[in-house]
Amino acid sequence: MQKILSTRSPEEASKMSGFVSIILLPIRYALIIGLTVLGLLYYHQMNLKAPDGSIDFERILPLTINNFLPTGLMGLVLTGLLGAFMGTFSGTVNAAQAYIVNDIYLKYLNPQAPTGRIISMNYLTGVAVVALGVSLGFLAKDVNTVLQFIVSALYGGYIAANVLKWHWWRFNATGFSVGMATGIVAAMIFGFLLPASQLLYWFPLLFGLSLAGSVVGTYLAPPTEPAVLHAFYRNVRPWGLWGPVLAAVQAQDPGFQPNRNFRLNLFNVGLGIVAQLCLTILPMYLILSQKLPLLITVGILVVVVTILKKTWWNKLSEY
């Protein structure tokens, strides 16, 4: 999301998002399925028992890498895993610093802070966020529990605010903050009270709470400044509830036209999802030597890419 927001135009955002899928998905899942196959082949040669006598499945990956990969390949795999970790880690820390320093400290606590103080606050915030994350890591039972919490609970409180910001003109920073806070706090409470395997079933309620918090928070503060809304709408031309902003922009520029490609955009989104699924499963079929499923996947991918070339890529400049 941060990468999309940092692009200069919808065309650049589309290209960036598309190339991330093309480059990332095949490489990621080739690595994953390769290590999975090794782990399955040599499963009975691993000592996976925990001190209490149970099976510790989280030991499969490190034991597979350590025992069944040659030295050079082991280095490449570890480099890839460390690179993936650092990419996620640095992006998360940088985003946290930006939110806390820009949206809280400079806006509410010290708007006139000198540059040196801002830099110091960035360092302090980074250290505090990392320390908090490490502390929470010690409290986690296992990786699967954390993953279930993130996918099932945290996303439920995360989606509403990040959808409304594109599709509702009245939505503002207060609504975003309240909606995110409501969703995250609710997700944490549910995570403590419920088993990780049951969190997915509570997704609709978490989403509803976050949505309610976003709407209530929006009306606790005045709308965003008209100049900001007009500039955003001119540049992005999003779908949704933007009628008052569109009317104001057209009053200033009668020749301005909104985005009338909703159906085509939605069609392309559907095809893009199919293409992403094909890019995910293609390396799996390749490594497993599943020839017929591989050929079918390649065929579907070729057809989808050909259509997207005409309906999406060739029309990016029109968006």
16-65 pLDDT, tens digit per residue, is: 888 989 988 999 899 999 999 999 999 988 888 877 878 888 889 999 99
Per residue in 207-217, pLDDT (tens digit) is 999 999 999 99
Q: Domain containing 214: what range?
A: 141-224
Q: Does 58 map to a domain?
A: no
What is the DSSP code (8-state) at residue 313?
G
pLDDT of residue 144: 75
pLDDT of residue 226: 94
Mean pLDDT of the 253-261 span: 90
Q: Which residues contact 316 (CB under 8 A, 6 or more apart)?
A: 10, 11, 14, 15
Per residue in 90-141, pLDDT (tens digit) is 888 888 888 899 888 998 899 999 999 999 999 999 999 999 888 877 877 7
Mean pLDDT of the 165-191 span: 89
Q: Does 204 map to a domain?
A: yes
* Domains in the chain, number: 1
pLDDT of residue 319: 64
pLDDT of residue 209: 92
SS3 274: helix
Q: Does 84 map to a domain?
A: no
pLDDT at 234 over 80: yes
Greatest mean pLDDT among 83-92, 194-203, 257-266 lies in 257-266
The tokens for 11 are 């065309």
pLDDT of residue 175: 93
d(CA 249, CA 37): 57
Pair 13, 4: CB distance under 8 Å: yes
Q: Does 149 map to a domain?
A: yes
pLDDT at 202 over 90: no
Per residue in 281-315, pLDDT (tens digit) is 999 999 999 999 999 999 999 999 999 999 999 98
Q: Does 160 map to a domain?
A: yes
Polymer length of the chain: 319
Q: Does 176 map to a domain?
A: yes
pLDDT of residue 36: 92
pLDDT of residue 90: 84
Name the β-bridge partners of 168: 241
Mean pLDDT of the 167-177 span: 92
Q: Does 192 map to a domain?
A: yes
Q: Give the alpha-carbon dihedral of 176, 178, 184, 187, to 10 degrees.
A: -120
Pair 183, 209: CB distance under 8 Å: yes
- pLDDT above 90 covers what percent of the chain? 50
Q: Does 166 map to a domain?
A: yes
Q: Given CA atoms 201, 204, 208, 211 in this order, what sign does their dihedral have?
A: positive
